[in-house]
Amino acid sequence: MKPDTDRNTTLFDRARRVIPGGVNSPVRAFRAVGGTPRFVQRAQGAYFWDANGQRHIDYIGSWGPMILGHGHPAVLEAVQKAILEGFSFGAPTEREIELAEAILALVPSMDMVRLVSSGTEAGMSAIRLARGATGRSKIIKFEGCYHGHADALLVKAGSGLATFGNPTSAGVPAEVVQHTLVLEYNNIEQLEEAFALHGKELACLMIEPIAGNMNFVRASIPFMRRCRELCSQHGVLLVFDEVMTGCRVALGSAQSVYARDIPGFEPDMTVLGKVIGGGMPLAAFGGKRAVMEQLAPLGPVYQAGTLSGNPVATACGLATLREISRPGFFESLSAMTRRLIDGLSGAAGNAGVPFCADSEGGMFGFFLLPALPQNYAQVMKTDGARFNTLFHGLLDRGIYIAPALYEAGFVSAAHTAADIDETVAAAREVFRTL
Catalytic residue among 47, 138, 185, 241: 241
**Can 241 be counted among the known catalytic residues?**
yes
DSSP states along 312-336: HHHHHHHHHHHHHTSTTHHHHHHHH
- Which among 227, 221, 333 has a CA at the least distance from the CA of 275? 333
* pLDDT score, position 175: 81
* Secondary structure (3-state) at 94: helix
The backbone torsions φ and ψ at residue 188, rounded to the nearest 5 degrees and listed phi first, read -65, -45
* pLDDT score, position 173: 83
- Asked if the 3-71+327-431 domain carries CATH number 3.40.50.20, the reply is no
CB 230 within 8 A of CB 193: no
Catalytic residue among 58, 138, 141, 146: 146
Which option is the CATH number for 73-324: 2.40.50.140, 3.30.420.40, 3.40.640.10, 1.10.540.10?
3.40.640.10
Q: How many CB atoms lie within 10 A of CB 119?
A: 29
CA distance 355 to 341: 10
Question: Per residue in 156-183, pLDDT tens?
Answer: 765 455 555 677 888 888 888 889 999 9
Question: Per residue in 97-139, pLDDT tens?
Answer: 999 999 999 999 999 999 999 999 999 999 999 999 999 999 9
CB 58 within 8 A of CB 43: yes
CA distance 203 to 266: 17
CB 202 within 8 A of CB 191: no
**Can 302 be counted among the known catalytic residues?**
no
Extract the runs of DSSP E, i.e. beta strands, from 102-174: 112-116, 138-142, 155-156, 166-167
Domain segments of the chain as ranges:
3-71+327-431, 73-324
Catalytic residue among 47, 59, 274, 376: 274
The predicted model scores a pTM of 0.95
Which residues in the chain land under pLDDT 50? Answer: 159
CA 353 remoteness from chain centre: 28
CB 409 within 8 A of CB 248: no
